[in-house]
Amino acid sequence: MQRGPYGVGVTTIELADTSRPTEANGDVPGSGERKLTTEVWYPAGPAAAQPEARDAALDRDGGPYPLIVLAHGLSANRQLYASYGRHLASHGYVIAAPDFPSSNLLTPGGPRLNAVLEQPGDVSFVIDQMLAFSEQSGHRLEGAVDPEEIGMTGHSLGALTTMMAIYGAERDDRIKAALPMSTVGCFLPDGFGGDTSVPILAVVGTDDLITPPVTADRGYEGANAPRYLVHIRGADHTRFADVDLTDESLVANGGVGEVIGGTFISDAVETAQALGGDAMVCLNDGPGPSGPAITGARQRELLRTVAVPFFDAYLRGDSASRDLLPELPDLLPEVTIESDVG
C-alpha cells in the first residue's frame, strides 16, 4: 500500500509514571517509577521530509486524529517498528510507541518476559498522557488526538500486551480496535473474550517458528465478533519488525530462551499461571512452514496493507474499508482471511 497523503512528523517523549514502580531485575535494583521513552509519529504537512521529519509541525487541519498505541515485542524496542508507525501516520493516525521498562532491548539486567504483566498499565498511562498533551495549549501535539478513536497494535509479547489491554481485568475500554501480530496465544486462558467485544484483526505468519499459527491463532479463536484472522503465507515471526534477522537464524542460535537468558522458561511459566494459560502448550506447538518464504520487506508491506483498512473501518467507521477487508485475498495472493463480523 502506498504512503498516505500526509507527511510524517516524529518526536521522542520521555514519560514517567510515578504512581507505579519498576521491579528489581536480578542484581539491578528497582525504581519507584516507570520510565517510558515513547516515539510518536503523527501527520505533518505534505512538504515534510520523507520518510519522517523530526519535530515537524502537526498538520492540524485534518485533526484531531485517531490514536494507536504500538507495543514492541520481547527484546525489541519502539524504533524497530518505525516503518509501520510512519505508514499509519501518513494515513492520518497518531502512533505512540513506548519502550516498556522491563522488556525492551536495553533493559538493565536483560529483558524479562514476565514484564508483560505490568504492560497493560503502561498502555493506559501512555493513553492518558497523549490525551493530556492533546489538550495542552502550546504543546507540539495540541489538538492531535480524538479521545473517541483509540486503537492498539503490537507484535509478539506486544501482541499479548494488546490482548491484555482489551480483555479481562487489565482492559482499557477506551481502546476501540486492536491488531495483534504473532500473539503468544497459549498464555491466554480459555474463554478470555468473556462478554467483551472489541474489533480485532489478528495477523499470523504461516512460517512463524516462534509463535506458530496453532499458537498465534488463539488470539482470534477466543475473541468475540467482529474479528478477522489474517494468515500471511511465507511470513515468519521476527520480520514484522524492521530487522533482517530470520526465525531460522534465531532458532539456530538457541531460540528465544537462549537470546533472552536463563530466566525465560521460569518467566514464561509464571506469566501463563498469572493469566490462566499454559506455557507448556507454547513449547509443544511445533512450527509448520507451509511454502516459499517471502522477504521481510514484503511481509511488512502486507502488514501495512491490511492494517490501514482495518483501522479505517473500526476507528473511523469507514464502510468502504470494512467492505474491502474480506476482499483483500483477491488483491494479495499471499494473504488469506477468516472473519466473523457478527
Q: What is the pLDDT of residues 122-156, one digit of tens each?
A: 999 999 999 999 999 999 999 999 999 999 999 99
Q: Which of 39-48, 248-257, 316-325 has the lowest mean pLDDT?
A: 248-257
Distance CA 89, CA 9 (A): 8
Q: Answer yes or no: is 224 within a domain.
A: yes
Task: Concatenate the DSSP letters of all residues of 160-229 into one string.
Answer: HHHHHHHSGGG--TTEEEEEEES--GGGSPTTTTTT----EEEEEETT-SSS-HHHHTHHHHTSPSSEEE
Grouping H, G, I as helix, E, B as strand and the rest as coil, residue 2 is coil
Q: Answer yes or no: is 117 within a domain.
A: yes
Model confidence at 253, pLDDT cuts 50, 70, 90, reads low
Distance CA 153, CA 163 (A): 9
Q: Answer yes or no: is 36 within a domain.
A: yes
- CATH code for the domain of 100: 3.40.50.1820
110-133 mean pLDDT: 96
249-257 mean pLDDT: 64
Task: Give pTM, 2 decimals.
Answer: 0.94
Q: How many helices, marked H, and strands, marked E, lie in the chain?
A: 12, 10
The C-alpha cell at 319 is: 464502510
Pairing mode, if any, of strands 175-181 and 65-71?
A: unpaired
Domain that holds residue 24: 7-340
Q: Answer yes or no: is 175 within a domain.
A: yes
19-38 mean pLDDT: 95
Distance CA 333, CA 337 (A): 11
Residue type at 37 in one-letter notation: T
Q: Answer yes or no: is 1 within a domain.
A: no
Of 66 and 270, more confident: 66
Whether residue 58 contacts residue 106, with contact meaning beta carbons closer than 8 Å, is answered with: no
Domain count, the chain: 1
pLDDT of 93 > 80? The answer is yes
The C-alpha cell at 325 is: 477487508
The C-alpha cell at 177 is: 480496535
Model confidence at 247, pLDDT cuts 50, 70, 90, reads confident
pLDDT of 25 > 50? The answer is yes
pLDDT at 260: 47
Q: Answer yes or no: is 2 within a domain.
A: no
Distance CA 191, CA 203 (A): 20
pLDDT at 259: 45
pLDDT at 190: 87
pLDDT of 18 > 70? The answer is yes
